[in-house]
Structure 1
Amino acid sequence: MRRVDLGWMRVFVEVGRAGSLSEAAHRLNITQPAVSYQIRRAEGEFGVALLLRKARGVELTPEGRALHDILTRAVTQVDALAEALRPQPRRKTLRLCTDYAFSSLWLMPRLHLFRAAHPELELQIVALQHAGTRAEGEMAVVFASRAELGPEAVQIMPEAVVPVCAPALRAGLPDGVLPDAPLIHLDAEPGAIWFDWTSYQRTLPRARDPRRARGDLRCNTYALVIEAALAGQGVALGWRGLVDRLLARDQLVEAGPELTNPDRGYFLVANAPHDAGAEALCSWLRAEAGLPSG
């Protein structure tokens, strides 16, 4: 039995899909005479007409339709197999280091926006208790004072804290008695540079009376501090930017005056070299923080 020469298969399938020799030529990036030649070869192989030439385009004959159905499945399966077998180019991986608080409360609720805009990039988020060290080429969002970082660091969130608690707990706290409420503390190493309840209470007109204060709660991560506040366990210090979404939804409410330190806060830092992916992530972080680009 003489075997059929199959070199024309893809051309025939594309002509059937397009319904036009010229459109098939355009899709295959070959000339129309080359398409016509391959169709003649196919018709010569089977000894029957496979296409009907019309004023506008072409139409498959019944024999052509039967052949087209078989070949479309075959060509599609071959293309799928080839795609699966070819080595896939490794996608660029961007690594961003930050702390637990920033990653869980600020970054994750909006990260889908960056991923939708840049599906070609693979992003690795490394959350640490304190994101202070980075490898070559890595980016980080760190809480620090301006003096600690170089001139290239960009402040995306100045430090501003406000006491926050669950609405039901706030309703039971008369104005001016915040020092007597149960407080939720973030455990930190000695010498931590951010506000804590000790430094915050120094700014209040009345010191906390230990005899009237109810039992406090201590947590080793800021995410746990906020979870405890949401559950009505006490009053926490809420960092602007991190708790804004919860305040806007009335899941938390303010329970005292704001305290700020514009020389501290979250800074975006990056170790050279930069590439297009890193620049895209930096620009997105700046935009989400409300900063101008560049």
Structure 2
Amino acid sequence: MKAAIMPLSRLPSLSSLRAFEAAARRGSFKAAATELHVTAGAVSQQIKGLEADLGVILFTRKIRAVHLTPHGQALQPVLSDAFLAIRQAVDAIRPGKTPTRLRINSSGPIIGKWLLPRLHRFTELRPDIFVNIETEGGVNAMTEDGPDIVIRYAHAAPSDLHSIKLHTELLIPVASPQLLAARGIRSPDDLHKAPILHVANPMRKRQRPAWARWSNVAGLADQSTRQDSVMFQPLAADQVVDAAASGVGIALAQSLLAHGALSDGRLTCPFGPVIPSGLSYYLCCRPGRETVPDIAAFFDWAMHEAAVLTTLNALHSES
């Protein structure tokens, strides 16, 4: 007796899925409309139709911004991967195209909070390059059959690799505007009004905890010993940003990881000081490989993208 084959559910329209994916990736209906060569109103209508079709809300809409709901957050990476795979497959069979593959390795937080939200700009610039993102195996596997590029978070540039500093990291106090308003938090003296969030980082075992160093600069008692603190493991550094944006508490966040949420208003830096983390992000490849055209193209693109972060550092350093 043959097993029954369950029919696949009907898919929503491709145009509505494209509109959602572009808006989710860019964080804006207007930016999605520019990418898709339609009006912002058309994007909005496509997404409303998709929400009606699925029976869930995908975005929360505000005056100057839109934010993904949990349903939207679950759908966006799957669609982004699917559309990227389709685009790469189509490019691969076009006459005259000889696509190459570029393997990029880093930690989950760097990939999720910095690389993926802007990777579409590189793939649009270089559709002839297939990008493979890897987190397995760690960022130290720079062997002949390993990744082409790694992005490392380290105290210094690796001496055995060709390395370029991508970003000098700062630690920035951040919280959701709603939490700050609800609890009347306006200065470092108000820090006791909300839990603090921080990362336990084994790379800094010999260094005082970040909140302890921040407290010293701010002239406060050591905040790192508070009983209401919430600690995250190093590979969950991106979750500190998400927790702060959700109103769980005040985080001392890595500026690269918090950049997106600061830019779209989900987080704000309510007060200083801003302190250096003591680490930086480095683009690395095996020596001699830096002249390979695809690797050089990614290095150039990444450094251009990092210029925005440098501006962010300068602004917060003055606060």
Band of TM-score, shorter chain? 0.5 to 0.7
| Alignment correspondent of 1:279 | 296
| Alignment correspondent of 2:170 | 160
SS at match of 2:133: strand
Q: How many Å separate the matches in 2 of 1:190 and 1:151?
A: 19
Aligned length: 207
Unaligned runs of 5+ in 1: 1-83
Contact 1:178 1:256 survives alignment (8 Å) = no
SS at match of 1:215: coil
| Alignment correspondent of 1:255 | 270
Q: How does 1:139-218 map to 2 (within 5 A)?
A: 139-146=149-156, 148-149=158-159, 152-171=162-181, 172=183, 173-180=185-192, 181-189=194-202, 191=204, 196-208=210-222, 215-218=228-231
Task: Tell me the amino acid that sits aligned with residue 155 of structure 1.
Answer: K
Contact 2:245 2:261 survives alignment (8 Å) = no
Q: 1:276 Cα deviation (Å)?
A: 1.5
Task: Tell me the amino acid that sits aligned with residue 131 of structure 1.
Answer: V
- Map Cα deviations across residues 111-130 of structure 1 (whole Å, 9 max, x no partner): 00111111111111113696
- Map Cα deviations across residues 89-127 of structure 1 (whole Å, 9 max, x no partner): 973211111122221111111100111111111111113
Contact 1:162 1:255 survives alignment (8 Å) = no
Contact 2:210 2:277 survives alignment (8 Å) = no
The structure-2 alpha-carbon separation of the partners of 1:209 and 1:226, relative to structure 1 and needing over 3 Å to count, comes to closer
Give the number of the structure whose residues are more often helix, by fraction.
Answer: 2
Q: How many Å separate the matches in 2 of 1:112 and 1:265?
A: 24
The structure-2 alpha-carbon separation of the partners of 1:262 and 1:254, relative to structure 1 and needing over 3 Å to count, comes to closer
The structure-2 alpha-carbon separation of the partners of 1:209 and 1:282, relative to structure 1 and needing over 3 Å to count, comes to closer
Contact 1:145 1:264 survives alignment (8 Å) = yes
- Which of residues 95, 104, 114 in structure 1 aligns to 2:103? 95
Q: How many Å separate the matches in 1 of 2:152 and 2:241?
A: 19
| Alignment correspondent of 2:80 | none
| Alignment correspondent of 1:126 | 134
Contact 1:144 1:193 survives alignment (8 Å) = no
The structure-2 alpha-carbon separation of the partners of 1:146 and 1:188, relative to structure 1 and needing over 3 Å to count, comes to closer
Give the TM-score normalised by structure 1: 0.60
Unaligned runs of 5+ in 2: 1-91, 309-319
Q: How many Å separate the matches in 1 of 2:301 and 2:213?
A: 34
- Map Cα deviations across residues 146-183 of structure 1 (whole Å, 9 max, x no partner): 26546842111101111101112122224232542311
The structure-2 alpha-carbon separation of the partners of 1:101 and 1:178, relative to structure 1 and needing over 3 Å to count, comes to farther
Q: How many Å separate the matches in 1 of 2:117 and 2:224?
A: 38
